[in-house]
Amino acid sequence: MPRLLTGREDNAERFERFVRESAPRLARFLGRLRVREDDIDDVAQESFARLLRYRDQEPPDAWTALLYRIAINVVRDRARRDRNAPVADVSGAEPEAVSAEASPEQHASDLEALAHAREAILALPARCRAVYLMHRVEGLSYPEIARRCGISTKAVEKHMSHALRALRDARERPGAHAR
């Protein structure tokens, strides 16, 4: 499925600009999460490094939302490391990359999770499903989706929120959408 992205060069430039412009905001956010002053630069750098992996996979509009998630994960990872405690699962949060050494069991559970996500999406009301798929699969912006569906961009946002919640429910309570 082709995704509507600008060219690679453009995207690299755009990403650099995004990093420059987002850095102060990210620092403020990390402060609010009570990251120590001395650590903020490190955490920010690690967050941007992780975000880079998504540069060509996610449209630039999604980078801000993604950066917040990554920053939260980096903060959590560091807190765990500092406590030197065994890694606990943060409410089912996904690691940002799947280990290449995933066991067949892990992989099978991954496939099951994908099946649950698929079922959750297919079980959404028609318009909500259409909105989510246009965004997730086709990479369309809210205004474009709004135009196609003949609804407001605010309604698009509501449908997105509903779909996201359904995905979370499916992840936590698999079978809720199973036939």
Question: Could you say which residues in the range 54-93 bind another protein, by CB under 8 A?
Answer: 57-58, 61-62, 64-66, 68-69, 72-73, 76, 90-93
Q: Say if residues 27 and 44 touch (Cβ distance below 8 Å).
A: yes
User: Contacting another protein (CB under 8 A), which of 13, 39, 41, 172?
Assistant: 172
| 105: CB partners within 8 A, 6+ apart | none
CA–CA gap between residue 119 and residue 179 (Å, rounded): 9
Task: Answer yes or no: are the C-beta atoms of 43 and 74 closer than 8 Å.
Answer: yes
> How far is Cα 155 from Cα 56, in angstroms, rounded to an integer?
28
Q: How far is Cα 128 from Cα 121, in angstroms, rounded to an integer?
A: 9
Candidates 14, 171, 174, 176: give the one binding another protein (CB under 8 A).
171
Q: How far is the CB of 48 from another protein (least distance, A)?
A: 16
32 is an interface residue for another protein by CB under 8 A: yes
Site string for another protein, 124-153 (x = CB under 8 A): --xx-xx--xxxxxx--xxx---xxxx--x
Question: What is the nearest approach in angstroms of another protein to the Cβ of residue 129?
Answer: 6
